Amino acid sequence: MPKARFHEIYQDYVCGCMLRVAREVLAMLPVDTVLITASADILDTRTGQTSEQPVLSAVMARAVIASLDFDKIDPSDAMENFLHRGNFRASRKAGAFQPITPLTPADVPQTSTEAMGYAGLLVSVQRMREELQAKLAH
């Protein structure tokens, strides 16, 4: 298999894994946003040693995940829907991914209650109330 094709498949695999993790976490937890960082074994050509390094980090919102048609998307292209950090440019020397500095909770956009307006705040409070009632019912 040509290296370029391998890197393309590997990139789709890593992005697809991140999408799956986001979907499963959002299905189980009453959160609106998840921050996910994927790591891979990267060869350090200076030492000849491999080490686990972050290669892709993304902030994935429930609303965006819910709007995706998972039967038709390309996982790598879908990352453009999210705030993300990653370098997919493969090179003969470096391999499929370049190490990155992962996103942090400080990078997650916060929706302030002032910016929501009354209607948005009311919807948010009602949703939290329903989630709390559901937890108490169990």
- Candidates 92, 27, 86; CA nearest to 59 is 86
Query: pTM for this structure?
Result: 0.74
Q: Where would I find the H helices in 29-112?
A: 62-67, 75-78
Question: Mind listing the pLDDT tens digit for each residue in 46-88?
Answer: 888 999 999 999 999 998 999 999 999 999 999 999 999 998 7
